[in-house]
Amino acid sequence: MPSLSKSQTAFLITFLVVVWGINWPMTKFALNYMPPVLFSGTRTLIGGLFLLAIAIPRWKKLHFRRTWPIYFISALVNVTLYYGLQTVGLNYLPSGLFSAIVFLQPVLVGLFSWMWLGESMNGMKLVGLLLGFVGVGVISSGAGGLSGHISAPGVLLALGSALSWALGTIYVKKVSAGVDPIWLVTLQLIIGGAFMTAAGSGVENWSDVEWNAAFIGSLLFISVLVIAIGWLVFYKLMDSGEAGKMASFTFLIPVVAILIGTLFLHEPFTLSLLAGLGCILVSIYFVNSKRESAKVAASPASQP
């Protein structure tokens, strides 16, 4: 897969942070009109069917008989467990606290990519990953995320959501060379979305869905831009650089979500938001900075 230029990488990171940031308040809005499990299944299934039109002309690259386990494992960790645990867990915890725990994911990706992918790890990178998680926690606490009842099941479900996303990210990066990326995203969304839609149909009622223009618009935006195109961009970024470094930028997603809430939902802009943003920016700098001294020290050894 061809590598990305710096400008292409910056554009894709910006796109991903913005649309995935918009996803949180927009999902909160959409859940007023559709039960949660049905909504999780429907949005991922629509996203997968949208990509199917793009994937079908590439059918020769599918190799389903050889690669089907990859699609099912990816669907399990990246769709069914990630979205399923997230949907159920939001019933037990305030959304701000839940999202703060879920965004432990970049820290886990950084550690797992060091353990299993052989990516570099140093003190500055580790501190940066932890600082980003702290920044998300500070932001969420200031947005009211730490208020309300905190339950052990909710915390465990949030941790499960973060763990499944992190494991899915590492798994896809490890196997990406053996599958077509379009087919990978398409089938993980269709398989996971179909399963959750079927599960939702068994425990929830379609009659409870309130179909109106605002809800349908939100559903299509989330299905196409957030789910379908968002996952394609995420995997492209993971494949083009170190997983830990790319994942560190996802710390910005809750910042975007809360800024949108401040601008459009009249939620307060707090000092904790500013402090948390500062932590996240320093975190991204630490994780992505190049250790020049290490380069200089290493260069003589590479000479004949």
8 Å CB contact between 114 and 120: yes
Confidence of residue 301 (pLDDT cuts 50, 70, 90): very low
Quote the pLDDT of residue 180: 92
Quote the pLDDT of residue 300: 34
Q: Does pLDDT of 275 surpass 90?
A: no
Quote the pLDDT of residue 269: 63
Q: What is the mean pLDDT of residues 219-232?
A: 94
Measured between alpha carbons, how far is 265 from 175 in angstroms, rounded to an integer? 41
Confidence of residue 302 (pLDDT cuts 50, 70, 90): very low
Q: Does pLDDT of 28 surpass 60?
A: yes
- Find where tokens 């918009």 sit: 22
Quote the pLDDT of residue 56: 95
Q: Does pLDDT of 297 surpass 50?
A: no
For the chain, the 3-state helix, strand and coil shares in percent, each to the nearest 5, are 80, 0, 20
Q: What is the pLDDT of residues 97-146, one digit of tens each?
A: 677 678 777 788 888 888 888 877 778 878 887 887 888 777 666 655 54
Closest CA to 35 of 216, 200, 191, 202: 200
Q: Does pLDDT of 296 surpass 50?
A: no
Q: What is the pLDDT of residues 43-68, one digit of tens each?
A: 999 999 999 999 999 999 999 999 99
Among 87-91, 156-160, 240-244, 265-269, the minimum mean pLDDT is found in 265-269
Confidence of residue 261 (pLDDT cuts 50, 70, 90): low
Measured between alpha carbons, how far is 184 from 232 in angstroms, rounded to an integer? 9
Measured between alpha carbons, how far is 17 from 10 in angstroms, rounded to an integer? 11
Q: Does pLDDT of 267 surpass 70?
A: no
Measured between alpha carbons, how far is 193 from 189 in angstroms, rounded to an integer? 5
More confident residue, 87 or 157: 157
Q: Does pLDDT of 221 surpass 60?
A: yes
Q: Does pLDDT of 157 surpass 70?
A: yes
Q: Does pLDDT of 199 surpass 90?
A: yes
Q: Does pLDDT of 298 surpass 50?
A: no
More confident residue, 160 or 176: 160
More confident residue, 176 or 161: 161
Quote the pLDDT of residue 294: 41
